Amino acid sequence: MKTRLNITIEEGILEEIKKYSNRNNISISELVEKYFKRIVDKPKKKSLLDKIKTLPEPSISLDIEYKKGYYEEKYK
């Protein structure tokens, strides 16, 4: 069931939305509904930092002398 919704937006934005809807052959109501569906149904995205925190700890020793190891490998 569809229901009516009144919204108030800036006039300039409304003009741009009307142009967009005409170019894309979609009503403003459809645009609003699709946008609302998107923000309601959208799963919460994890930030990159949250994803990094879930990664396993590295299994290498962090006490490596990287510079020394680099030159040892380079000049073998």
Would you list the DSSP string of 17-57? HHHHHHHTT--HHHHHHHHHHHHHHPPPPPPHHHHHHTSPP
- For the chain, which residues make up each domain, given as ranges? 7-55
pLDDT above 70 coverage of the chain, percent:
92
Sign of torsion, CA 8 13 14 17? negative
The predicted pLDDT at position 61 comes to 66
For range 59-67, the mean pLDDT? 70
Q: What is the mean pLDDT of the chain?
A: 86
**pLDDT recorded at residue 14:** 95
Retrieve residue 22's tokens: 């005409």
Question: What length does the chain have?
Answer: 76
Q: What is the pTM of this model?
A: 0.52
Alpha-carbon span 37 to 29, nearest angstrom: 12
**pLDDT for res 48:** 85
